[in-house]
Amino acid sequence: MLSVIYISVADPLIGEQDIAALLVQARRNNQRDALTGALIFNGHNFLQLLEGPADKVDACLAVIRSDPRHSGMVEIRRRRIDDRAFAEWSMLYDPNFRGHDDSLSRLAASGRLDPQDALMMENFIALGRRRPQGAGTVD
């Protein structure tokens, strides 16, 4: 399996309602394609992890890349995996993932993971240990 993390710049007009609609679409497709992952949004940037069968992950990323709801998508981590980090989440969304806005903006500007981003990445991946309740949005 493959796991990819990317960062992108959200369309400035995007709000929580648009994200709710996006998640309905994403979760439906991801269930069909055996994809799992997580998404966060800090008001400016999306950070998303997508994992599953390599061909499905890449096909989905190609579709996501051309989505006008964001731009400037940069992959910051791509690795082969044996175990999923978000096995129970067709797409976890945590609107309260806060405290890492500096890391997110720096990452969006540089497109490269720095040692300073380690804590954010750790906290991001740790979201996958939560158990889904209801719609899959953590609140």
Ligand X SMILES: Cc1cc2nc3c(=O)[nH]c(=O)nc-3n(C[C@H](O)[C@H](O)[C@H](O)COP(=O)(O)O)c2cc1C
Q: Does 25 interact with ligand X (rule: CB under 6 A)?
A: yes
Q: Say how many residues touch ligand X, by CB under 6 A.
A: 16
CB of 50 to ligand X, least distance (A): 6
CB of 128 to ligand X, least distance (A): 14
Give the nearest residue (CB) to ligand X: 29
Which residue lies nearer to ligand X by CB, 95 or 118? 95
Is residue 82 within 8 A of residue 1, CB to CB? The reply is yes
Nearest to 64 by CA among 123, 22, 119, 3: 22
The binder of ligand X chosen from 13, 62, 63, 87 (CB under 6 A): 63
Q: Does 5 interact with ligand X (rule: CB under 6 A)?
A: no
The binder of ligand X chosen from 4, 26, 47, 108 (CB under 6 A): 26
Amino acid at 76: I
Cα 35 from Cα 60, distance rounded (Å): 9
Is residue 104 within 8 A of residue 51, CB to CB? The reply is no
Name the pairing type of β-strands 36-41 and 70-80.
unpaired
Q: Which of residues 69-98 bind ligand X (CB under 6 A)?
A: 69-70, 91
Cα 115 from Cα 102, distance rounded (Å): 13
Nearest to 135 by CA among 4, 18, 23, 5: 23
Residues forming the site for ligand X (CB under 6 A): 22, 25-26, 29-30, 39, 46, 48, 50, 60, 63-64, 67, 69-70, 91
